[in-house]
C-alpha cells in the first residue's frame, strides 16, 4: 500500500471539499483540510488519490449470479438487480466488489450522470482520482458491529455486513 490523499466530495455545491493525507498504513498525516479542490492537488502528487463520494448517492447491495467470470458478472449484475431498482439500468454504473461468504457478490450502484458530475468536477480542479469510494465504506467496521457518523441533520450507517470494495 502507498501513501494516499483522501478527498471527501461535498454533499452540496456551496460546501467545501475536505482532504487528508495518510501514510502507507492508513494513519493520518497532519490535519484534515478543507477548501477548494484545486488546493489539494499539490498534496496529492505521487500519492494514491481516493475520493469519498456521498453515501446518499450510492446504493450498496449484493446479488447472486451463477458465474464467477468477472466479465460475465459485469454484464449480468445490472439485469439481476433490475427489479430492485427504480431507474433504468442503462442509466446506472455498477461497480463489482468482493465475493461474499454466502456466494453473492457485493455491488455499488450509482447514476452515471452523478458519477460524471464528480469526475468532471475533479478534472476541472486537476484531480485525477485512482478510485471513487462511497463514504459509507470509510467508516470503521468490526464483526457484528455498526458504525454511525452523525453530521448536522444527516447520518451515515455502516453495517458490518458490507465489506470494503475491492481496490
Q: What is the mean pLDDT of residues 69-91?
A: 93
Tell me, what's the pLDDT at 54?
95
pTM here is: 0.87
pLDDT for 133 beyond 80: yes
Label residues 76-111 b or e (16+ Cβ within 10 Å = b). Answer: bbbebbeeeeeeeeeebbbbbbeeeeeeebbbbbbe
> Using 50, 70 and 90 to split pLDDT, how confident is the model at 152?
confident
> Using 50, 70 and 90 to split pLDDT, how confident is the model at 161?
low
Report which of 162, 143, 164 is spatially closest to residue 61, judged by C-alpha positions.
162
Query: What does R_g of the chain's alpha carbons equal in angstroms?
Result: 17
> Using 50, 70 and 90 to split pLDDT, how confident is the model at 165?
very low
> Using 50, 70 and 90 to split pLDDT, how confident is the model at 122?
very high
Mean pLDDT of the chain: 89
Amino acid at each position: 500500500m502507498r501513501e494516499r490523499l483522501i478527498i471527501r466530495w461535498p454533499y452540496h455545491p456551496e460546501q467545501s471539499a475536505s482532504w487528508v493525507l495518510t501514510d502507507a498504513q492508513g494513519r493520518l498525516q497532519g490535519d484534515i483540510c478543507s477548501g477548494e479542490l484545486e488546493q489539494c492537488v499539490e498534496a496529492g502528487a505521487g500519492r494514491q488519490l481516493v475520493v469519498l463520494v456521498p453515501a446518499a448517492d450510492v446504493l450498496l447491495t449484493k446479488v447472486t449470479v451463477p458465474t464467477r467470470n468477472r466479465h460475465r458478472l459485469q454484464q449480468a449484475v445490472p439485469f439481476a438487480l433490475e427489479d430492485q431498482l427504480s431507474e433504468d439500468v442503462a442509466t446506472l454504473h455498477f461497480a463489482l466488489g468482493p465475493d461474499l461468504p454466502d456466494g453473492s457478490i457485493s455491488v455499488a450502484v450509482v447514476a452515471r450522470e452523478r458519477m460524471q458530475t464528480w469526475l468532471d468536477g475533479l478534472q476541472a480542479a486537476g484531480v485525477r482520482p485512482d478510485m471513487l469510494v462511497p463514504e459509507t465504506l470509510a467508516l470503521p467496521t468490526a464483526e457484528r458491529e455498526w458504525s454511525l457518523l452523525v453530521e448536522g441533520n444527516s447520518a451515515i450507517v455502516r453495517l458490518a455486513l458490507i465489506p470494503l470494495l475491492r481496490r
